[in-house]
């Protein structure tokens, strides 16, 4: 399906996407600073498991409910303006919270409100970001760009906790909020003034009225339900997310149980304790994701994007099994690194396949459904895996889910409907474009 390649080339797409990723990376860095600051502040103030649950709910549930409307707005309106309006709303809420905390209105419930309102903005922003990329990048480069984007996000996820911890050591939480407002302002300005987006012709006139939003949400769901590839893809994604939940969430608990408070000795006399061991596996994982994103960005994957995606899923299954079986912490950390490396092998081609396959008129709604599913399936899986981890060894859970993930990729790598969607488009047809904004 064409994405206006000729128009993209006229807009100097490499400069465009570089500016877009840089601006979005800045806003993400500021957002993650605030996210970790709020989480750590509430944790240290309350030391309450109930409050940790409320943090999770406040950060996920609003996103789940708003994302269908965010998908409609991304399909209806100029995606760059949708992104900037959402970012501006998030920055405004954060600024209000920073001012309140500066005047000593330091209440944990205010921080939960801040998390919930920021999640609403992210639920609008994220489908629009995913839907905008194929309007900026030629189809044959989507896998590379998504790989680079994923690598950049992983680098930010890798660095922001360390930066946040360093800043909180000598500055109050509102300082990080002010930094987020500044980075958001820079990112918004870059997108508004420097990134040029082709204005695509609309196939139908937008009808007014609140009911029309629900009509368009239903149209998006009917579009997905009527497409055999999208149905298979979303079922695959849902099952994969549930099976990956133990490896994503329960590995710190596994490390604490298996290695206990034993001192971890590095280079002879340099010894680290349990906290540093937990930090080490996080560093290894995000370092791997950063490296994997850069590798897939340089390589581009197999000619068929879905073969790359399934190969990444198969390798994830292998390394999840390794996490469940190894007994040496050095080898365990290496498996975490390798798991991080292969995740972009599945994520980047997955995004590229959806972006090149989906009808542009439904792009935002398809990504909103994907985001709803990803925000729901992993917590839903933990409702089962969490209690089970108190009954049997987590290693056995990782072995079982790893084998299932391996078989999932091995089966779907031969699915003709999946493979057909991953084939590169040999011919393109330009989309009517009126102007650049």
Task: For the chain, list residues with pLDDT below 70.
Answer: 1-11, 43-44, 47-50, 52-53, 158, 199-211, 213, 260-276, 278-279, 426-437
Task: Find the helix or strand (DSSP H, E) in which 270 lies.
Answer: strand 270-272
Residues 290 and 376 in one domain: yes
Looking at the DSSP bridge assignments, the partners of residue 384 are none
Domain count, the chain: 2
Q: Are residues 222 and 185 in the same domain?
A: no
What is the per-residue pLDDT across 71-111, written as a single tens digit (0 to 9) for each? 999 998 899 999 999 999 999 999 999 999 999 888 888 99
Do 162 and 232 reside in the same domain of the chain? no
Residue 278 lies in a domain: yes
What does the longest C-alpha to C-alpha distance in the chain come to? 71
Q: What is the DSSP letter of 431?
A: P
Do 146 and 250 share a domain, yes or no?
Answer: no
Clarify whether residues 136 and 255 are in a common domain: no
Residue 203: its pLDDT value, please? 45
Residue given tokens 């604490």 in the structure block: 256
> In sequence order, what DSSP letters do the residues of 76-144 get, joined into one string?
HS-HHHHHHHHHHHHHHHHHHHHHHHHTT---HHHHHHHHHHHHHHHHHHHHHHHHHHHHHS-GGGHHH
The per-residue pLDDT for 209 is: 58
Structural domain boundaries enclosing 269: 215-424
CA-CA distance, 90 to 328, in Å (whole number)?
A: 44
User: Do 1 and 83 lie in a common domain?
Assistant: yes
| Cα–Cα distance, 49 to 35 (Å, whole number) | 18
Q: What is the pLDDT of residues 111-153, one digit of tens each?
A: 999 999 999 999 999 999 999 999 899 988 898 899 888 878 8
Query: What is the structure's pLDDT at 25?
Result: 93
- Note whether residue 436 is domain-resident: no
For residue 434, is it within any domain?
Answer: no
Residue pointed to by tokens 């206006």: 4
Burial of residue 49, with CB atoms counted within 10 A of its CB: 0-12 exposed, 13-18 middle, 19 or more buried: exposed
Does residue 318 sit in the same domain as residue 355?
Answer: yes
Q: Do 38 and 113 have their domain in common?
A: yes
State both tokens at 248.
Answer: 């994503």
CA-CA distance, 107 to 31, in Å (whole number)? 20
DSSP 343-385: HHHHHHHHHHHHHHHS-GGGHHHHHHHHHHHHHHHHHHHHHHH
Q: Of 425, 354, 437, nearest to 134 (Cα)?
A: 354
Query: Do 164 and 269 reside in the same domain of the chain?
Result: no
In a domain, 208, yes or no: no
Q: How many helices (H) and strands (E) does the chain have?
A: 16, 4
Q: Which of 142, 163, 196 is the last residue of a domain?
A: 196
Pair of tokens at residue 158:
């890798």
The backbone region for 171, taken as left when phi is positive above 0, alpha when psi lies in -120 to 50, beta otherwise, is beta
Evaluate if pTM is beyond 0.75. yes
CATH number of the domain within which 35 lies: 1.20.1250.20
Last residue of a domain, one of 134, 162, 196: 196
Residues 314 and 403 in one domain: yes
| pLDDT for the residue 187 | 97
Q: Say if 144 falls within a structural domain.
A: yes
206 falls within a domain = no
Residue at 429 is within a domain: no
Specify the residue for token string 């040029």: 196
> Is 219 in the same domain as 192?
no
Q: Are residues 169 and 299 in the same domain?
A: no
The answer to whether residue 210 is domain-embedded is no
- Say whether 159 sits in a helix, a strand or coil: helix
């Amino acid at each position: 399906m064409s994405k206006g390649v000729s128009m993209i080339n006229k807009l100097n797409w490499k400069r465009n996407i570089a500016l877009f990723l840089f601006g979005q990376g800045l806003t993400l860095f500021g957002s993650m600073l605030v996210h970790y600051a709020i989480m750590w502040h509430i944790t240290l103030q309350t030391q309450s498991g109930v409050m940790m649950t409320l943090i999770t709910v406040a950060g996920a549930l609003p996103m789940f409910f708003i994302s269908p409307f965010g998908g409609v707005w991304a399909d209806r309106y100029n995606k760059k303006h949708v992104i900037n309006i959402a970012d501006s709303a998030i920055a405004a809420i954060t600024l209000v919270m920073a001012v309140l905390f500066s005047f000593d209105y330091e209440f944990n419930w205010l921080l939960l409100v801040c998390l919930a309102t920021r999640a609403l903005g992210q639920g609008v922003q994220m489908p629009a970001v995913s839907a905008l990329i194929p309007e900026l990048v030629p189809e044959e480069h989507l896998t590379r760009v998504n790989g680079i984007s994923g690598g950049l996000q992983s680098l930010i996820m890798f660095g922001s906790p360390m930066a946040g911890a360093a800043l909180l050591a000598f500055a109050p939480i509102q300082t990080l909020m002010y930094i987020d407002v500044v980075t958001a302002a820079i990112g918004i300005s870059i997108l508004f003034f420097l990134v040029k987006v082709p204005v695509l012709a609309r196939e139908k006139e937008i009808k007014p009225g609140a009911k029309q939003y629900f009509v368009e949400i239903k149209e998006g769901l009917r579009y997905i339900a009527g497409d055999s590839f999208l149905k298979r893809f979303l079922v695959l994604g849902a099952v994969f997310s549930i099976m990956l939940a133990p490896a994503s969430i329960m590995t710190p608990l596994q490390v604490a149980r298996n290695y206990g408070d034993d001192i971890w000795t590095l280079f002879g006399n340099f010894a680290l304790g349990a906290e540093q061991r937990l930090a080490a596996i996080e560093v290894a994982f995000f370092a791997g994701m950063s490296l994997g994103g850069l590798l897939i960005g340089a390589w581009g994957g197999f000619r068929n994007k879905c073969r790359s995606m399934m190969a990444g899923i198969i390798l994830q299954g292998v390394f999840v099994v390794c996490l469940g079986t190894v007994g040496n912490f050095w080898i365990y950390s290496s498996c975490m690194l390798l798991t991080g490396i292969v995740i972009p092998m599945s994520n980047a081609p997955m995004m590229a396949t959806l972006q090149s396959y989906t009808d542009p008129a439904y792009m935002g709604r398809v990504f909103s459904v994907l985001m709803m599913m990803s925000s729901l399936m992993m917590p839903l899986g933990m409702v089962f895996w969490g209690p089970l981890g108190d009954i049997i060894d987590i290693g056995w859970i990782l072995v079982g889910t790893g084998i299932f993930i391996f078989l999932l990729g091995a089966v779907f790598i031969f699915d003709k409907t999946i493979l057909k969607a991953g084939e590169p488009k040999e011919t393109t047809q330009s989309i009517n474009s009126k102007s650049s904004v």
